[in-house]
Structure 1
Amino acid sequence: MNNKASFKLSHLTYAILAGLLSSNVSAASELQAQESVEVIEVRGIRASTEKSLNTKRFADGVVDSITAQDIGKLPDVTIADSLQRVPGIQIRRNAGEGATINVRGMPQVTTLLNGEQFLSAGSLTKVQPDFTDIPSSLVGAMNVMKSPTADTLAGGISGTVDLQTRKPFDLAEGFTGAASIEAARGSYSKETDPKAMIFAGYNADSFAVLATVSKDEVTLANYRLGATNHGWVGAPQESGNCWYCPQADMNGDGDTNDAEYTYVSYGMVNRFTERERTGANISFQADVSENLELSADVFYTKMDDADRQRGLMADNAWGGHWQWQDQHDPIDRGDILASGHRLYTAQDITLNAPRVVAHSESHTNERQSTNYNVELVYKGTGAFSGKARFITADASRSHTENVAQGYLTNGLAHGLRRNEGNGPIAVNPNGYGPDTIAMRFNFKGEHAMLLPPATLQGETFGSNLSRYSVTSTYSENNYDEDASLDIVRLDGEYEFDHAHLNKMTFGVRFGERDISRDQYVLLAPLNNPVGDGSVNVMWKDQGLAAFDTDGSGGTPSASAGDLTMGYDNLITFSSLPEGWVQPVSDFGPISIDSIYFIDPKQLDDPFAFQNKFYPGNMRGTVPGSSYKVTEQTQSVYWRSDFSGENYRANIGFQYIKTDLEIVQNIIGDSICTSCPGSVAEDAGDIITDKSFSDFLPSLNLSVNLSEDVVYRAAWGKTMTKLDLEQIAGGLRISRTRAGEDLAAREGISPDLLIATNATMQGNPDLNPWRAQNTDMAIEWYFSPSAMVSLGIFNIKLDSFIESSIWTQPMADADGVVRREVSVNGLINGQGGTMSGAEFSYQQAFDFLPGVWSGLGAAFNYTYSDSESGRIDLNGDALPLEDNSKESANAVLWYEKSGFQFRLAANYRAKRLAEISVPYGMSDTAIWTEPTTYIDISASYDVQDNFTVFMSGSNLTEEYETNYAQWKDNRISQNIYERRLTFGVRGRW
């Protein structure tokens, strides 16, 4: 790959920096001594509420704030969980923990660290981090800025979140220390998870230092019930020309004018996520002179995690077996398909499954990031002040995926055979068969259930270990990512002695972000029985023929007697090492008779596992999913602040020039047999250089209608940085085994891997999201700890990025183009709106008598309506993805005599999870049903500086249910657990 020139400062930068520093030094001797600043210590719910309201009241724009209740103690367990209490913020969960956020229904949210960009290893290509990376104890406060100001780094369409760490000079003079130890346990995981935090700081008046270190381990239950992949879906017709359409009367009504909505695979997945997190923050501040202050910070995060799953899955084996459903009590959805067929759905289905597998899978990540910040601040008694800031960061992530499929079926029901040289036999000789297995998928109750037959062939289904064999194993979607970030920023401020004009703020900024990604699969060399040497194989699928041993010269076919992959290596469960196989009956709220699975922990190391059975595995490059991007930005801003007897205002602009160098790879010749076409030689680079500029004006006005009532109005243009993966990824073609039916129709081998669909992962021609934002609000602060506010907002999207589907010819694995397939990719959409209103109320009831004066409450509600310009299967307009039209929070708290209690509820209305385009259908909306999460926390100060505490998250074991198009067409569920935490916290 081509390497971009390293980051260099321009001559202008050097001139400004030299001028700023020289003026600082010359003015130093003329400054008077600074006035001492009172340190306000925030402890407790009431104190943090008052500080947050104070921040909001005197903010320069539309801002909401969250302040830690004590050192290392945000209101909730995770950063994202705390952010969801802010009006207009909705969160997405990963294994039950808050991972990403939306502001006013949009995920295009910039997250800053102490006012500037930083690197998060879990989300290197985006402007929003993965919040699961960051221990919450490292953060002291969070500001959510919903209206832009000229001096705030642009990058978010709907808002910007600024994570603020504690500063040493904010501590009381002398030594400050704090520590906490806690243990958490999940209702499903049954593991006791430790967490520890220690904080130490010293403020010597002229210099100060602090350090925070956090370490925790968690095991999170995260079950999946129902359709295993929302993209593997179709509407097979009773008659048609598509490769997946059966030529039969599927529902027995005497005609062939119907179609059934069906998924390729249904299952129940036992899934647990283990995370080990380490975080550290070190900060130093010193008065270099009377006028100069030096700050330095290091912010470090490291997380190793493994997502391990064991799933009982029934599927139609893809090729030609789409007539596998017997729908009970089907619902007639009408004549809504372009083909003219009537569509039927059902919640109770008998699956005549040609394949049933005990699926084991492990995804692992090793990710870490280090962000450095050095800042020199000039603060004097004159009109001018300023600061110079330098940031550098690096981050890396290594990701692996490893799969082992244990067949329970013998494979004959879908024509899958193995050949060890003596003719074709069942791929899993001892498995159930040769007929399909009648599995019952029922979603009429509270939870989705996949129920196998109680007995089969004279035994309890799944109870006989000798029935199982590892018929398929592979490792794909592995990648290594590295990123670096360098920023130089110069800011100045000039104050005016004027009746209305207070000051002007201005600055320049230069930044460079580099990211590279190398994706690979694991290839094993297998001996070539019909030639010299060996062939490299990714899908070690023992039913897939690859060697032409009958001398026909045609495409190999197990049915014709050709040798199959792993033909000499039958891997039965009973032959695996002791401890590798485990019986599992736990699927969250559903329990069935035990099924045997390979322990997914054995799959954490893909090389070790694959080499156990197929020695000599090596990396196989995936050029289309590997890339390098260099992003350089140059920006300048100017802002003027005004104030009068009853108003404050700021007006300004930010100008940003962005230069991108995108290095994609040309996909060369294939380097393997039985693997995706994307696994190939790197045949060179495609280098795209693009530039664009944004001029972003902004205006914020705050008017004091009375002593306690504030009116706000704001307008500004916003843009968000491009997700670098969305512009740099390549083309990925999905292929699957043709199967007997299609082979007969098209005269090809049933083992040929045929193109079914494709994904264009990157589009270098994409432009950023751009919008115009308008806000108005009125806020009434009727006590230091009470407020009620009402605001309205409108986000007019000038351009945005959306998924699109088109068809184009794609070659099968033999290089022959036989059909057009659907291609999913990203394009720029034009237009779209997001508008709504926010209501917020907070109050401490300190006017009540006696013990009741410790009560307090908070409530907020957000209405956010959006239009994406797309319509669903019924012709109804669709909103922007992941937006809930309504969301709300309610909090009841109590604080008195050292006792604290907090009960919080978060509600989110249904959201558009994704837009699916099933085979044979048009845009189909996948919705997630409304959810309400209940959390609790309590603490007691045994002594002034020693506290015992507990917390509970997701007390009601809330789960997420997804449905396709119609509310009574539920398709899947994500099951999360209740978590209880107990701990002690001390300070000195």
Structure 2
Amino acid sequence: MSIKNRRQPTLNKSLTAKAVAAIICGYASFGAFAADQAQTASDDIETIEVRGIAASKKQDINNKRFSTGVMDSITAEDIGKLPDVTITDTLQRIPGVQIRRSAGEGSTINVRGMPQVTSLLNGEQFLSAGSITQLQPDFTDIPAALLSGIDVLKSPQADTLAGGISGTLDLKTRRPFDLDQGSTLSLTGEATRGSLSKQTDPKFVAFAGYNNDIFGIIVTAAYDESTLANYRNGTILNSSEVRGETRIDLTTDRDFNGDGDFNDSFYSQRFYGVMDRETERDRLGLNTTIQYQIADSLTFTGDLFYTKMDDADRKQGVMVDSARGDIWAYSDNFIPRLDNGKGGQIYTVNDTNLKVRRVSAYSESLTNDRESTNASFLFEYQGDGPLSGEFKYIHGSAERSHTENVAHGFLTSGAQHGLLKNHGDGITPVNPNGYGPDEVDVSFSRSGEYLTLGFDEGFGNDINQYNLVSTYSENNFEEEATLDVARIDGHYAFETDHLQKVDFGLRASKRDVERETYILVAPFTTGDITADVMWKDSGASLGDTNGDGENSVAGGDLTIGKTNFFSDMPAGWVNQVNGLGPGGSGHSFYLIDPKVMDDPMAFQNAIYPGNKRLANPSRTYQVKEQTQTAYFKANFAGELGDLSYTANIGAQYIKTELDMLQNQLGSARPCSLCTASEKIGEKWLSRDYSDFLPSMNFNLNLTEEVILRAGYGKTMTTLDIGKLAGGISVGRTRAGDVLAAELGVSPDLLVAVQGRQNGNPDLEPWRATNYNLSAEWYFNDSGLLSISAFLMDMESFIQSGIVMQGLPDIDGVVRREVPVSTEINGKGGNIKGIEVVYQQAFDFLPAPFDGLGTSVNFTYAPSDSANVDVYGESLPIQDNSEKSANAVLWYEKGPLQLRLAANYRSDRLDSLSSPMGEGVMPFWTDSTLYFDMYAGYEFAEDMSIYTSVSNLTEEKEDIYAQWSDHVITQNIFERRITFGIRTRF
């Protein structure tokens, strides 16, 4: 570690500097505001050039100690080296931060239980292609090597861009003027291998910088490839889809508990499976920064931040369908759970023998191509007088293309549940070579470490039994966005006993977002009927093709689609998979390789030619958002008796204007067997709202080592644009005599009776009032013990609900208001809790133990909501863990560095399912404990080798329904081992 003391120079005004000062003072209406400038007690600023674990921890403490509010910080341990593999893995080490994972990698975060967190890049808004409609990026897009550090701001301040309810992340890149004079080069190469994927993935990072104190430039490039095993057992669909398939069956022909009656109920999920799931990602990140000292008092900084990621999430496995409730009733181990309200009990089962009507070979490919560019230009003026300021302009653009493609094969014939086909040559099961006509015996167990399915010996070994019965591509979309920000900040210094400086600024921004959602349809003809079809299903009929007035395959109607036996598929399309991952059946199955499905149009055309894109207007929209912001903050420092203090008080005013395209949808569909709706019109809706956000932070130095902090502020978060716009589908029915008389129309007129709105333009932002109180003891330059208490009092949040709205009848006339289901603002709640932090380097111990150090934190954050579980017990806010903790033990001595880290989250509410008992069925994610480790050795002055292991114990996520032993889904992640070499010269 090296430490540089830099004294801010006394600067002379130049003509250019005076001109910039005039702009700041005279054209304030053009601008905006900057992130907080750290205040110090003197003109001396200590800058720590971080090299190693101990120096990084020391810098983190230094950042926290001299902050003007409640914040935590993480600093890169060297160029291109944050402490963990991903940004979110690093962030989870901060107290109060909880992460959500995608394919085992951290993707998004909560701060103190809330996902309403805004993320900034060098103090300002930016666009991420993984989350175009929100202000929190998908961190899987962003290579960690591009960043020099991250600040998590937990108490609001007037000059910090509003947008986070619980906190704000500020991602920081390196600045050339922070480098040593001359050239700095760094190269990193890594190879990572997964314990389950068995793939070796490369990563390369190159850094080049130059600084001569007048001109500086940095170029950073990072590229990596990842193949991530992400197995899924149990309910193979997403939790939101599981809800619709979750039910209680009241049987009348089974006596579950042997008491002689038939009034008991059985709770189960319909679809269970074992799935090989693999996510493949290619990431590229580029960052270029230029700094130029234009004059003594004027500095220019230009930034270009570029990210690109292509990923494919591929799934293949076997799924069983328990479509009939009593199929699950073959067990001697039923577990009573609660009364069913019908005089009996609701039962579940953990081990059972199933009689299954359908066994499917399921393959799916989801792809995402993401790209974003953020450019900024910053002019900083610092004269020898009291006035200073900045002008910054930002332009961002991002685009994302998403596809979904599904192939649904059968091993069973279809006769078990009456799925038949008729191509004009007679009625047969849809898969005539499949297993049947009897049901399939399948054992199921959730009692062990993994959910398991067991089949009879030899089942699935014959490729001739497999037939592709259904294939489709839906939920595809293309979206793009642009962002423009202009801002001006001013600072005026005072020489008084208390008032030190006033910060003020104006900001204007414009963000445009556009999404087009589409499906793929192909032309089908049966009899005299022709239609575009999305669900190309061998067992479906377009309509009455036998002229008897009935729609029935059994009655002779012709079915669409064709027989597509796996044995007839092109070479390379079908692969034989053994075992299906941890907890798999051990059987061998034939499955369509999801890789051949990455291009949905090519795959669908190969099966059913003539596919075309068909827009889905219910999920297609445009939104234009403009904001104007003004802020004022007064900064104080001085003495209160024998104690010194720093404080700030201020306010931020934000006006938001929205223009939203709302599509109107008819009752008809533009295709058969599809999810798209008929668009009958559109309209632009405009609205605006304003927020006044006061804030206050007060820091009292009780001693030279002990700081007491208090913070207060109102917060708001920018709405997710995807929840604002979309389409309104209108449900209509014949008016009838009574309603016709009331409305003055014909009884045969189709009138609007209900609607579904994808996107509610009347939503209000999340708003809250935050309170913070903390005590921090800095017992040496590398030691910290602190305790913090916080309260977030939320005025409202967003939930599903019903609104009354005027919708047009079939003739286009709006005659009355009808109920429309959409998302609405619900009543607020609160989260309150405490955070405890302990950090210390044990350099006082005798050698060799003087290289040890530790960092430990614990957060307790209980929450309440209006929802209750099946027993009437209050449920917390979704995705909030009541308890979370991190512990890091590190060692740094000479050329050796070691680190072992643990991250714990208690159970968290995943989602809400169907009504049951006194409330709703909650789905919980069980507690998790992840371990990571790192070991590095510097065998030359500027060259080191290292290895790291993420998810050391192969921790998985278990999702259970109400009862912890009733696991319904498992996400199984792998251990990943990295070997790398880093040079710097």
Confirm or deny a common fold (TM above 0.5): yes
The CA RMSD over aligned residues, in Å, is 2.5
Structure 2 Cα separation of the partners of residues 806 and 961 of structure 1: 36
1:914 maps to amino acid = S
Aligned to 2:595: 601
Q: Is 1:100 aligned with 2:95? A: no
Which residue number in structure 1 is paired with residue 523 of structure 2?
A: 525
Q: Which of residues 560, 581, 584 is equivalent to 1:588?
A: 581
Partner of 1:86: 94
Q: Tell me if structure 1 keeps the 8 A contact 2:108–2:136.
A: yes
1:310 to 312, 316, 319: 316
Q: Which residue of 2 aligns with 1:739?
A: none
Name the residue aligned to 2:538. 542
1:557, 1:807 → 2: CA distance? Answer: 39
- Cα shift at 1:662: 1.5
- Give the deviation of 1:349 after TM superposition: 2.8
Deviation track 1:810-868 (CA, whole Å, cap 9, x = no partner) reads 9xxxxxxxxxxx99742212121100000000001111122111110110000001111
Structure 1 stretch displaced more, 581-590 or 648-657: 581-590
**Structure 1 residue 40: deviation in Å?**
3.6
Aligned counterpart, 1:149: 157
Amino acid at match of 1:603: M
Q: Which residue pairs with 2:868 in the alignment?
A: 871
Contact 1:233 1:919 (8 Å CA) reproduced: no
Deviation of the 1:802 alpha carbon: 2.5
From the superposition, tell whether residues 962 and 36 of structure 1 become closer, same or farther in structure 2 (CA, over 3 Å).
Answer: closer
Question: Structure 1 residues 480 and 608, CA, compared in 2 at 3 Å: closer, same or farther?
Answer: same
In structure 1, the residue matched to 2:566 is 573
Q: 1:679 to 1:149 in 2, by over 3 A?
A: same
CA contact (8 A) 1:780 1:787 kept: yes
Match of 1:693 among 684, 690, 693: 690
Q: Does 1:929 align with 2:926?
A: yes
- Tell me, what secondary structure is at the counterpart of 2:432? coil
Q: Does 1:967 align with 2:964?
A: yes
1:874 counterpart letter in structure 2: Y
TM-score normalized with structure 2 length:
0.89
One-letter identity of the residue aligned with 1:233:
E
Cross-structure match for 1:484: 482
Deviation at 1:44, TM superposition (A): 0.3
For 1:238, the equivalent position in structure 2 comes to: 250
Q: Give the match's secondary structure for 1:107.
A: coil
Q: Distance in 1 between matches of 2:535 and 2:129?
A: 30
| Counterpart selection for 1:19 from 21, 26, 35 | 26
Letter in 2 for 1:680: S
Q: Secondary structure at the match of 1:853?
A: helix
CA distance in 1, matches of 2:730, 2:358: 24
Q: State how 1:189-204 maps to structure 2 within 5 Å.
A: 189-204=197-212
Residue 413 of structure 2 is aligned to residue 413 of structure 1: no
Match of 2:738 in 1: none
Distance of 2:386 and 2:23 partners within structure 1: 18
* Pairing 1:183–2:181 present: no
Kept in 2, the 8 Å contact 1:361–1:401? The answer is yes
Aligned partner (choices 484, 498, 501) of residue 499 of structure 2: 501
What pairs up with 1:739-758 in 2 under 5 angstroms? Answer: none
Equivalence map 1:506-517=2 (5 Å):
506-517=504-515
Q: Go from structure 1 to structure 2 and tell me whether the alpha carbon gap of 1:189 and 1:983 turns closer, same or farther (over 3 Å shift).
A: same
- Is 1:393 the counterpart of 2:396 in the alignment? yes
Aligned residue number for residue 952 of structure 2: 955
Letter in 2 for 1:295: T
Q: Secondary structure at the match of 1:624?
A: helix
**Distance of 2:485 and 2:713 partners within structure 1:** 25
Q: Deviations over 1:879-914 (max 9, x none)?
A: 100000000001000001111000000011111111
Q: Which of 613, 620, 623 is the equivalent residue of 1:619?
A: 613
Q: Is the 8 A contact 1:505 1:640 kept in 2?
A: yes
| Residue number in structure 1 paired with 2:271 | 265
1:564 aligned to 559, 578, 600, which one? 559
Contact 1:336 1:874 in 2 (8 A): no
Q: Which residue of 1 aligns with 2:357?
A: 354
Cα offsets for 1:188-208 (capped at 9, x unmatched): 000000000000011121111
Contact kept, 8 Å, 2:291 with 2:300, in 1: the verdict is yes
Matches within 5 A, 1:607-686: 607-645=601-639, 646-668=644-666, 670=668, 672-676=670-674, 678-686=675-683
SS of 2:872's partner is: coil
Return the offset for 1:290: 1.2
Alignment of 1:305-344 (within 5 A): 305-317=311-323, 321-328=324-331, 329-337=333-341, 342-344=345-347
CA distance in 1, matches of 2:762, 2:29: 44
Following superposition, the deviation at residue 527 of structure 1 comes to 2.8
Q: Which amino acid in structure 1 is aligned with residue 288 of structure 2?
A: I
Q: How far 1:870 sits from its partner (Å)? A: 1.4
The offset of 1:806, in angstroms, is 11
Aligned to 1:166: 174
Letter in 2 for 1:149: Q
Match of 1:49 among 40, 43, 57: 57
Name the aligned partner's letter for residue 170 of structure 1.
Answer: D
Q: Select 1:425's aligned residue among 425, 428, 433.
A: 428
Partner SS for 1:608: helix
1:976 aligns with 2:973: yes
Going from structure 1 to structure 2, the CA distance change for 1:369 and 1:733 (only over 3 Å counts) comes to: farther
How many aligned positions are there? 910
Contact 2:226–2:280, Cα closer than 8 Å, also in 1: yes
Shift of 1:350: 2.7
Residues 672-729 of structure 1 deviation map (CA, whole Å, 9 limit, x = unaligned): 54423x4134322133222111111000011110010111010111111111111224
**Alpha-carbon distance in 2 for matches of 1:770, 1:801:** 11
* Structure-2 change in CA distance of 1:723 and 1:796 (3 Å): same
TM, length-normalised to structure 1: 0.89
1:711-770 CA deviation, whole Å, 9 max, x = no partner? 101011111111111122446899xxxxxxxxxxxxxxxxxxxxxx99754222211111
Contact 1:845 1:854 in 2 (8 A): yes
- What SS does the corresponding residue of 2:554 show, helix, strand or coil? helix
Change (3 A) 1:507 1:806: closer
Paired position in structure 2 for 1:6: none
Contact 1:529 1:547 in 2 (8 A): no
Residues 868 and 37 from structure 1, CA distance in 2 versus in 1: closer, same or farther, beyond 3 angstroms? Answer: closer
Closer, same or farther: CA 935–540 of 1 in aligned 2, 3 Å:
same
CA shift, 1:248, in A, is: 4.1
**Aligned: 1:371 with 2:374:** yes
Equivalent-residue separation in structure 1 for 2:890 and 2:767 (angstroms): 40
SS state at 1:664 partner: strand
Distance 2:392 2:605 in 1: 50
- Aligned: 1:127 with 2:135: yes
Q: Is the 8 A contact 1:149 1:698 kept in 2?
A: yes
5 Å matches for 1:756-775?
Answer: 760-775=757-772
Q: How far apart are residue 801 of structure 1 and its match? A: 1.3
Match of residue 905 from structure 2: 908
Deviates more, 1:917-926 or 1:385-394: 917-926
Instruction: State the identity as a percent.
Output: 50
Give the deviation of 1:423 after TM superposition.
2.3
What is the aligned counterpart of 2:282 among 276, 287, 290? 276
1:322-359: per-residue Cα shift (whole Å, max 9, x none)? 3321252111122145x555311111233322111010
Give the structure 2 partner of residue 442 of structure 1.
445
For 1:888 and 1:807, how far apart are their aligned partners in 2? 45
**Contact in 2 for aligned 1:862/1:888 (Cα 8 Å):** yes
